[in-house]
A and B are shown apart, each in its own frame.
Chain A
């Protein structure tokens, strides 16, 4: 099955690129100082920073990954949003923004320097810079691979062109350009995916029809089957889910990852900064319907428009008999074969085009679930829009990583350690240079990812090792004035080490020692699934960092209260929300978001 884009699809994509570049060009003249370039002059209104906050996070991982998880695990995937993201977003908006914004820190590592010391900043800055640049590269690789598989586009061309486009607009317009394009991308993704979900649901007969077709009750309930790992497809129980995903991993990401926090720092006032994650929370709550449902639908719809087709049907587009040698030729040379797949999810194929088998079952390529839905339901015209939305999600992730990298490089690494007292114009120049070499490294990383297909797993892993303990550091830093720099530094290292050790002595069911764990020689515990192992690694990492930080802090000298004003809860004035309309007050927004969250969880119980 290979879609054939027509001129209209290319026209839509071309128009999109024109606007994306155009925004960059128009914004160039406003980039006069380094604050303009890295922080948009702290002048962006809340609704824009809110949508950008959400959109910067909306990389390939979301659109493709959530579709894949939806296909694999069902509506439980919504936990990534309803338990994972939303509470963390509310927390960062209400409780942590006053410190991020009020401290006038220009980056997350810089807050750590102000609150703790230079070495704590260093640990965070270096690990973040490396992670973010590699993350961008992995995004590029995933996009190149997808476009090649789906449309036959040249892998190298896809990578180079997308890198150049992102380079152009971030180089010219800095963070503002990235933010504006993220908002554009947000609308594109929503507008691109609403018809997809609509058509898919209509085809199966609504949510009820979907439930019937899936046939597995555990895939259409989000909480009911979390009593034990053996009763749900994810292999987790509610405690591991809540503490691992709900608390450590999501708070670790949303509260400390500079990629999203940067967007809130660009807001035009403290109130806007606090409202940014709350405004983002509203669309975030509804995203499961746009990204998870298509994945769930992919497993149960059929390729041809005839009803009653068997799953594994090859589309009427390409004439071939299943089982013939033509199948593997086609898969390798042009087009995707659904032979052996489920619904319209194709099997994973090896180089010769034959489906991979593991434990007697065909391994499915879940990452293709959402793209195959696009190809299945969108005629030419809308197909161009859908492809645009897909590319937009990859590119907004890349741009987010690029702007975060160039800021952390310039302020936290270059200015802190290499050249402390240059002119503002020099730092502006350095920021632009960092944009270029950051993207160059990302492109290199994309090719590395192509060589070693475990790289995505490795990256996920290292992210968890680094992010999980970080949240403990921030929590203690912001709410316990007794926390010291030495404590924070040791805590971070200890937490990361604990994560590595935990991963090294445990294995998920059905895996062999290696990237998946158990590389320290002994396997102390077998988890029912990779996800369970992940969640518990996070829990151990966080707890270790928390305890070590407290212990070492009590043994070392704290800084005097005067130095910590504005950086710690006890020593900062509570922000006052005067002069705001009732619907603008952060506290009220938070209450509305949390109520809606409870309702959604209850509906899909």
Chain B
């Protein structure tokens, strides 16, 4: 009995020690993540303006979302950003990684240049692009005019404003490119050699060796990029910003992303309950999409060890 009690005591003590060591994380997680997360779920069923006690409104916030024209605009914009941005990002990153993998003199310099925009703060990048896209003095329209192409009025027309948001997000493709580059260098050379012996061309090699080997990376990048695009905030916010910090979102609300509208609902219109409901809808939607992507992986992702 005494031995058993001593052993039980020791186990308890060990558990406590473990908890004590984990406490900085456990406390931090509970206070800074779990509690706000659960609180926002509760707020999503209330009318809450941040200052007065919330009043229960049941599902009203969720119902109001269905009839809010600005919300519907923001959903459409966000879906367009994601549907165009994610494939474009993946395609450019993959193509760029191939170029950066060529045995060229000065390749490290090119790699550094491709990555450079990623380390430029997004605010600096956005203001830089606002000037580059200026229809009178901007370098982009200047080049287009030299090439006798139509020079669009970038930030003043809805279609071009959305394009500008995507350009600004794709500008930092260097990060994804670098991960693909690392993936490319992992593909066993003997596979290419064997394919060459069988008479495979460049395209066949890409289709049957490179692409399958890179699919795990593509899956991961697709999920990460999709989440980033669904949460797109800084790029459209900075491109649409006018003086006096008004809650503008570009011509015809063309740059109003879901996160931007969430922010405006919460901190400009002070509708915390509504904003919380929006956050939860985004969370559930993102989770479902992620599961769908993971589920589809069985059909197109190849792992080297099986």
Partners in one complex: no
- Interface residues of chain A, those whose CB is within 8 Å of chain B, are none
- Interface residues of chain B, those whose CB is within 8 Å of chain A, are none
